[in-house]
Chain A
């Protein structure tokens, strides 16, 4: 393609703000009316919200219960373990940014976020840790910039073991209360911590199961195909809440009286199995979009069935469905709120107990606004990351 010189706009079309306004917002009397009406509505909504948020609202309920909202009833003396886990994740994030997103100016700014949060009125202990988070993040970033080739493998290994490490730190090791990192029972896990763990476990485990189910549905072996179709259609045919009810309330009826399966684990399994069925259909959509020629070309090169799938088909199919996958992951994140209905104190569950504290009765708006903000920030974060990934992989462009 030959490069074209950009065409300069004609001199009379000198653009300025007034001209732009007149053309786009006040082109006709109808446009003008709509513009004014729209502006008024925006003004009322924004003014109403700001008046409430800055004047009427009493945010003490959130400040006093910050710990409950973040980690639930998790013992405060053991909270340092969660901070260590977070610091590890921050280091890995910084490292990854340094290695794979060297040009990005946004990355390092993101690493400063915890330090900025420390400006909010938290206690001394959280402040100290928030600053440590930024320091470890920046340290990881710097190392990644300096030695990208050396660290590539270790950072990937780090991500692989990050979830088990985080869960181990949360759960603890020693059974006795005085030992090293005493165990914290899962009934004390709550707030954002529980929401986070349910989401991450749900996403990580449902993904491979979903891919296998999708492949199984396209299998030529009838038993595997029928089993996959049966599973997918059965699970997609019932609401998640019924699966959670089954897991939390019906399961004990079928188990011997002394066998108890941890409730949080039951919720994790329920969410994983539910999400896997949806993912399977998303992946199948991606697989169907791959032209037959790709299979034939792979065979012509002498690849066997597994190699064709792993090296040729799946990478293309998964790249195609990144937007749908991320949509599903965000859905999983928000669906975890349903565990509040079966009595787990996740972010929504703990918010509802906070509302029953006698000194904060009637503070629904503040509490729900705060947890909505958390949900939105994290959902938008996932969405933003996926857009970056799409850009990198050129989804929809090549």
Chain B
């Protein structure tokens, strides 16, 4: 009698398992190839990331879905922003198709774990380059795509003009970010005591500030500018003339795959170089056929085999410029004067215009 009961139970379990396997969501498990020949080949430092990405047929990009101008989803369901466009450029360099990228929204707390565990191929999510992150978190920053710095915003009528004015006050800050650590460092070095009010995401941090639950709010200046624009009365808030940190933001890849690192880094350089030489998505074909500058010819793959050295095709940079644009185009699309999130170029100008953007020669 008991046997029948267990038989019935077993049947139920088995049918459940079958149902789970039969559901179409399960069919997406990719069949694991027995070996990866690419991983073994190639010189030292060549990992398997490029091969994995090519085999998968798309790049998985850890993106932000909550920062205006850098990474968000527009009303048509498309990811948008400067960090997001970097991933499109990377996909264009690899596949010659800027659409072959799958965006995976990652939060500040989980982003490094997601990169380490291979959930994402590249992390392009306004992440600050710092020594600890470059070493112990198992990632490599490729290069800076946006030079930022931490600022402090206070209401004008508070009369506060310097950090010292915040003695004993409450400061809204997002948790799990370098912003929070910087704030503690700077205030400790100045001997100012304050109460941090920490929040999980940027929206709650600024929501609390808007409701006057704290005396000041701190984050990168880029964030302050775009957030101030939407406060009830933007003119009633002032960003203090202090820069509490260097915040170089840029894409990050895993340790241990130098080839992939090079590709990710030169994607940024190609966009900067294109701006320097005045190549845009509109005129790239014309430049390609008429240019005489050997640097431009090498960049666009007309001469030399620069792309092959990276493990890509020679028209990698041409594809980036043609399909996504040069640095200026990408910047203006998301942060330019015509957008609600306008941030002046400042440090993010070419070195020839007094900024910090400088691409090594393509040679």
Contact = CB atoms under 8 A, between A and B. Distances in A.
Interface of A: 64-65, 67-68, 72-74, 76, 164, 167-168, 171, 185-188, 205, 208-209, 212, 215, 245, 248-253, 256-265, 268, 304-306, 309-310, 341-345, 349-350, 352-359, 361-362, 364
Contacts of A74: 77
Nearest to A72: B77
B8 A358 contact: no
Interface in B189-228: 201, 203, 207, 210, 226-227
A357 B74 contact: yes
Interface in B212-270: 226-227, 229-231
B29 A205 contact: no
B207 A258 contact: no
Contact of B28 (A212, A249, A265, A362): A265
B227 A361 contact: yes
B77 A68 contact: yes
B169 interface: no
Nearest to B67: A356
A355 B26 CA distance: 32
Contacts of A361: 68, 226-227, 229-230, 340
Interface in B319-361: 339-341
B107 interface: yes
Given A164-B23, A305-B4, 15 more contacts: A68-B73, A73-B77, A74-B77, A164-B19, A205-B16, A259-B29, A259-B32, A260-B29, A268-B25, A305-B2, A305-B5, A306-B2, A353-B66, A356-B72, A358-B69
B110 interface: yes
Interface SS majority for chain B: mixed
Interface stretch (B90-98, B114-122, B305-313): B114-122
A64 B75 contact: yes
Contacts of A188: 77
A248 B119 contact: yes
**A-B CB proximity, top 10 nearest:** A304-B1, A306-B5, A356-B72, A361-B230, A362-B230, A73-B77, A353-B65, A171-B24, A358-B340, A353-B73
A358 B65 contact: no
Given A68-B73, A249-B110, A343-B107, A359 B66 contact: no
B65 A345 contact: yes
Nearest to B109: A341
Given A265-B25, A343-B110, A353-B105, A258 B55 contact: yes
5 contacts: A164-B19, A253-B118, A304-B5, A306-B8, A344-B105
A306 B118 CA distance: 47
Contacts of B118: 252-253, 257
Contacts of B107: 341-343
Given A356-B65, A357-B72, A343 B20 contact: no
A224 to B, nearest CB: 9
B132 interface: no
A259 B2 contact: no
Nearest to B48: A257
B9 to A, nearest CB: 6
B73 A343 contact: no
A258 B52 contact: yes
A352 B201 contact: yes
B23 A167 contact: yes
B20 A205 contact: yes
B28 to A, nearest CB: 4
A262 B26 contact: yes
A237 B92 CA distance: 46
Most buried by B among A168, A344, A355, A364: A355
Contacts of A264: 25
Tell me which of A185, A248, A344 has the highest count of chain B C-beta atoms within 10 A of its own C-beta.
Answer: A248
A268 B13 CA distance: 17
Nearest to B9: A212
A253 B227 CA distance: 37
Q: How large is the interface on B (under 10, 10 to 19, 20 to 34, 35 or more residues)?
A: 35 or more
Interface string B4-22: 1100110011001001101
Nearest to B113: A249
A185 to B, nearest CB: 7
Given A304-B5, A353-B72, A258 B33 contact: yes
B67 A260 contact: no
A171 B28 CA distance: 10
B61 to A, nearest CB: 11
Contacts of B13: 212
Contacts of B69: 358
Contacts of B73: 68, 73, 345, 350, 353-354, 356-357
A231 B106 CA distance: 30
Nearest to B71: A356
B226 A67 contact: no
A365 to B, nearest CB: 9
A352 B2 CA distance: 53
Nearest to A187: B102
B104 interface: yes
Given A64-B75, A352-B201, A209 B25 contact: no
B41 interface: no
B306 to A, nearest CB: 29
Contacts of A342: 107, 110
Contacts of A72: 77
A356 B32 contact: no
B344 to A, nearest CB: 16
A349 B66 CA distance: 10
Contacts of A250: 113, 117
Given A68-B77, A249-B114, A361-B227, A349 B207 contact: no
A283 to B, nearest CB: 14
Contacts of B28: 185-186, 260-262, 265
Contacts of B185: none
B30 interface: yes
B64 to A, nearest CB: 8
Given A168-B24, A171-B25, A262-B26, A257 B52 contact: yes
A364 B203 contact: yes
A245 to B, nearest CB: 7
Contacts of B68: 356-358, 361
Contacts of A263: 104
B36 interface: yes
Given A64-B75, A364-B207, A164 B340 contact: no
Given A252-B118, A252-B119, A258-B36, A304 B29 contact: no
Nearest to A63: B75
Contacts of A305: 1-2, 4-5
Contacts of A253: 116-118
